[in-house]
Structure 1
Amino acid sequence: MRVLVVQNYQDTGLGQVGRALEEAAATIDLRQPYLGEILPEGDSGHHALVVLGGDQNALADDTHPYLPTLARLIKRFGDSGKAVLGVCLGSQLVARGYGAENILGRPVEFGWHEVTGTDEASSDPVFSAVPRQFPIFHWHSDTFTLPEGAVHLARSAKTPYQAFRLARAVYGIQFHFEADTGLVDHWTRVFHDQIVDMQADWLTDYHTHAERHGAAADAAGLALARAWVALI
């Protein structure tokens, strides 16, 4: 199993998705186009695609000219029947690749917050692996409309479209289910100044938040990761 992973920003690793891929003995082909690395022209060399988050928005073609190519590549994988996973910015690029609208500059949704599955989630091969409601880590302001034909899978208090599926196994997931407490702890250090500017009180109370929500979020995130990897 060979999986193409597209990283769009520093320190945004695979987290729990990486653990699930390792359990499945997958070979990971990591590309960092934000550093100038070249994306494949097609899907023939890979069985699945993961597109991770980033600080840029999904329409930032002037500063990140590879984004249109990546959006087309996402659709190429999906149209070939292969599993695709877009997380945060990745989900916004899945939406773009399938013709939905990217909505920029909304209020920030940050920290551990509840998401709620839709009625369709209970029969979905990935979201049926988790409870109807669970806490999970968020860090985004942009969002999207649902692509035509998408199955709406989850929402939160601030964001109506937190997750969707297209076709057999193309998933756009806005929240950071890959970010277990270890990765979130890493982010509190490497992105400390950004968090202080955005939500200083949260950082002050970080350990309380982590103790309250971390274990349940970690369990849900790993279950989602394993269920998606099983679709490859």
Structure 2
Amino acid sequence: MLKDFYPRVVITACLPDRPAIQKRFERNRRLTQRFEAQLQQVNAQLAPSLLTAPAWQRYPWCFVMPDQEANRRHFFVGAFIPSSVTPNVALYAWVNESWLLRQLLTRESLPFWLSRALVPLLHGGAQPHQLEEVRKTCRLLQRAGQPGRRGWNRHQPDPLPELDEQLRAVRCSADEEWEEKHGVDAMPWRDWPGCIQNVDTIWLWRQSRYGKVIEAQIINDLGHPIKV
């Protein structure tokens, strides 16, 4: 079930139609530039998928990526579409280690929901209405981080249950192929999520619409990927 992301996080959408951050927000713009540079290296080092069906070649990856330049322990966390399919498409939040460790204790964490938010872009290209749908989803997820969701209009129904249903719906070919019985419930790495404290490692995985882990790999210090 889609729950609050507390404390609130800021979700940045890197989409092809316009810059992720306006120039006047210089600090955030530099952060996004760092993220995009690291993501470019991840795409270059990404191992071929173990899944040969074209539908899964396009499917988004979830990620946990240490910010290599942050003085304190911070991470980029989110989802991206492989650059071989659609370049420059990713959703991320910049979070501290303690927040992330708590968040990753649940199978359906923020990266899972952001990967589902990207699914509308898998078919028909990145049309304006599809890009706006992705941004709207990000805004709703971001507002879910407000304590008790006080940001909602109290005279209107809470939109999160409807958003939960929407993000779990069959929305692409991969969703049609994988049933609830496919995949596994737990991450394949020992001591997850505590193992993310190895700051030289980037963690990548894919989840079905049921939240099941379908495949995963790690990249050590942006070196050679290790499939698991």
TM surpasses 0.5:
no
TM-score by length of 1: 0.28
The structure with the greater share of residues assigned to strand is 1
Q: Which has the higher contact order (CA 8 A, sep 6+)?
A: 2
TM-score by length of 2: 0.29
